[in-house]
Amino acid sequence: MGELEARTPRERYRAQIREEIKKHAWEQIATAGASALSLNAIAKQIGMSGPALYRYFANRDELITELIRDAYRSLATAFRARAEAGADLSDLAHALRRWALDDPQRYFLVYGTPVPGYQAPEDTTRIASEIMAVLLDACTAQQTPATPSPLQTHLDEHRDWAAPHPAGPSALHRALTFWTRLHGVLSLELAGHFTGMGFDPARLYTAEAEAIAGH
Amino acid sequence: MGELEARTPRERYRAQIREEIKKHAWEQIATAGASALSLNAIAKQIGMSGPALYRYFANRDELITELIRDAYRSLATAFRARAEAGADLSDLAHALRRWALDDPQRYFLVYGTPVPGYQAPEDTTRIASEIMAVLLDACTAQQTPATPSPLQTHLDEHRDWAAPHPAGPSALHRALTFWTRLHGVLSLELAGHFTGMGFDPARLYTAEAEAIAGH
DNA sequence: GAGCGTTCGTGATAGGTTCTAACTAACGAC
DNA sequence: GTCGTTAGTTAGAACCTATCACGAACGCTC
């Protein structure tokens, strides 16, 4: 991650400190969640005092935005890698699950409860559509049924989000279903809503993944 | 909501102030989210100064817990009312959506990103299983297939969460699917992940609801 | 109605946060 | 070697949660 090709020594040093700040920020987030992230505490861990950190990030929001960007990039990279290795929809589903379980708070940073005032930068929406492109590729690999459903024609008529991708109506629908259904199981599992219920969330997830890939 | 049957005038007054505090808390949450909730600001809105509020709620967590409890109760009440009016699965799905759109932050308070340290009180899990009971009732109303899938037998073997309910394996599966799939669409919509994509989230939601009810 | 214990609201205070301002010290280009 | 840019410091404003000690009001009992 990050901008490693820095010309001047000053820029190289700056980029290095920024990475160290983000490293400690991730550790804090992983243990206490994004809302408990303290710039003050990070600065002390690094070894510098409070306000010095504001030389590197204008404010708390900018740091969190950068972390969200990194999280998005990390998912996009994982997805692209699996796709290039010839993954089908089921493989992508399990790659998503592994990525989420690897750091639940990172998942929530991207797909969790949004801060009401927060507006995602254009940057992240671009990465999101890149992820969607990989997904649409995998969906077009499946066979398509003859006549599209009313919902599928609706999606085909409002396909701004799929932009230049040549996916058909049923592929659009499948991609969306992939996203929503897997997010449904995953987010409830990570939020702990299945704890104490007894069954194995992985089996439920796999069943949903195979239902999407098969149908 | 709340304990209105208070004996002494003191208790009645106390309950009244608690309700007023919660009212202002909901307004703050609706506009700025739960993380921005400020006990200080609420106290000033009520007309009393800072620490006085701690006579009514031990701390921030207790207030939020109380709000979560109320949110759960509100959903359970809405669900039970629809069920007693003879609602089927599709009706319950739309009741859920209306409840969520009515106050998105209330939905996130229950089903959104959890605070890592937070442990839900036994109380709320009881209400959750009450909601699940209504759902299982609606699921058993459908017809059941002959041979259960491997997942369905797994769910039937780990049916602690369904406790005393006589739902069969396929009903257990259907209830879980109802929950996860609708939450998937709903939470992504409320979090704003569909904004700018062009299509109508309501149609996607309805399609999922009917797929669950029909199958 | 008078006394008295409980409860309520207050201001003061401790310790935490984000973030700004002013100043100093170090770095690096010329 | 000079000098502008940048990094880090301390001080401080404006918030926040939460505790404590005090005075005042309430309402139950006698």
* B33-56: pLDDT as tens digits: 999 999 999 999 999 999 999 999
d(C-alpha B102, C-alpha B96), whole Å: 10
Task: Identify the residue among B38, B173, B199 best suited for mutation to test binding to A, counting A beta carbons within 10 A and taking the highest.
Answer: B199
The pLDDT score that the predictor gives to residue A2 is: 47
Q: Is the pLDDT of residue A1 over 80?
A: no
| Nearest partner of B83 among B36, B129, B26, B141, judged by Cα | B141
Question: Poorest-confidence range of B14-18, B77-81, B113-117, B183-187?
Answer: B113-117
Q: Is the pLDDT of residue A3 over 90?
A: no
Q: Do B188 and A200 touch (CB under 8 A)?
A: no
CA A52, C1' C24: Å apart? 14
Q: Which residues contact A168 (CB under 8 A, 6 or more apart)?
A: A140, A144, A148, A156
Beta carbons of B170 and A207 less than 8 angstroms apart: no
What are the tokens at B147? 């041979």
Question: Poorest-confidence range of A62-66, A121-125, A205-209?
Answer: A121-125
Distance of CA A2 to the CA centre of its chain: 17
Question: For chain A, how big is the Rg over CA atoms in Å?
Answer: 20
In eight-state DSSP terms, residue B160 is T
Cα dihedral: A122, A123, A124, A126 (round 10): 90
Q: What's the mean pLDDT in A149-159? A: 96
Residue of chain A minimizing CA distance to B203: A151
Positions of chain D reached by protein Cβ under 7 A: 6-12, 15-21, 26-28
Q: Percentage of chain A surpassing pLDDT 70?
A: 97
The pLDDT score that the predictor gives to residue A88 is: 94
- Indicate the burial class of A13 (C-beta count within 10 angstroms; 0-12, 13-18, 19 or more): exposed
Q: Is the pLDDT of residue B1 over 50?
A: no
Q: Does strand C come within 7 Å of the CB of A203?
A: no
pLDDT band with cut points at 50, 70 and 90 for residue B4: low
Q: Is the pLDDT of residue B8 over 90?
A: no
Q: What's the mean pLDDT in A176-203? A: 97
The pLDDT score that the predictor gives to residue A9 is: 78
The pLDDT score that the predictor gives to residue A11 is: 86
- Closest Cα of chain B to A127: distance in Å? 13
The pLDDT score that the predictor gives to residue B5 is: 63
Task: Identify the residue among A64, A136, A197 best suited for mutation to test binding to B, counting B beta carbons within 10 A and taking the highest.
Answer: A197
Q: Do B204 and A180 touch (CB under 8 A)?
A: yes
Question: Poorest-confidence range of A40-44, A182-186, B114-118?
Answer: B114-118
What are the tokens at B207? 């399609």
CA A40, C1' C15: Å apart? 13
- Closest Cα of chain A to B46: distance in Å? 24
Question: Poorest-confidence range of A196-200, B2-6, B10-14, B175-179?
Answer: B2-6
**If you write DSSP's letter for every residue of A91-149 in order, what string do you get?**
HHHHHHHHHHHH-HHHHHHHHSPPPTT----HHHHHHHHHHHHHHHHHHHHS---SSPP
Q: Is the pLDDT of residue B164 over 60?
A: yes
Q: What does chain B come to in residues?
A: 215
- pLDDT tens figures, A134-150: 999 999 987 777 788 99
Cα dihedral A140, A142, A148, A150 sign:
negative
pLDDT band with cut points at 50, 70 and 90 for residue B200: very high
The pLDDT score that the predictor gives to residue A206 is: 98
Q: Is the pLDDT of residue A4 over 60?
A: no
Q: Is the pLDDT of residue B215 over 90?
A: no
With contacts defined as CB-CB under 8 Å, which chain A residues touch B125? 196
With contacts defined as CB-CB under 8 Å, which chain B residues touch A199? 154-155, 158, 161
d(C-alpha A182, C-alpha A170), whole Å: 18
Q: What's the mean pLDDT in B111-116? A: 94
Classified as helix, coil or strand, B79 is helix
Q: Does strand C come within 7 Å of the CB of B145?
A: no
Beta carbons of A170 and A148 less than 8 angstroms apart: yes
Q: What's the mean pLDDT in A72-100? A: 97
Q: For chain B, what is the mean pLDDT?
A: 93
Q: Is the pLDDT of residue A76 over 90?
A: yes
Beta carbons of A34 and A108 less than 8 angstroms apart: yes
* Distance set, CA B101 to CA B94, B107, B196, B200 (Å): 10, 8, 18, 14
CA B11, C1' D28: Å apart? 14
Q: Is the pLDDT of residue B144 over 90?
A: no
Question: Poorest-confidence range of A34-48, A184-198, B3-17, B108-122?
Answer: B3-17
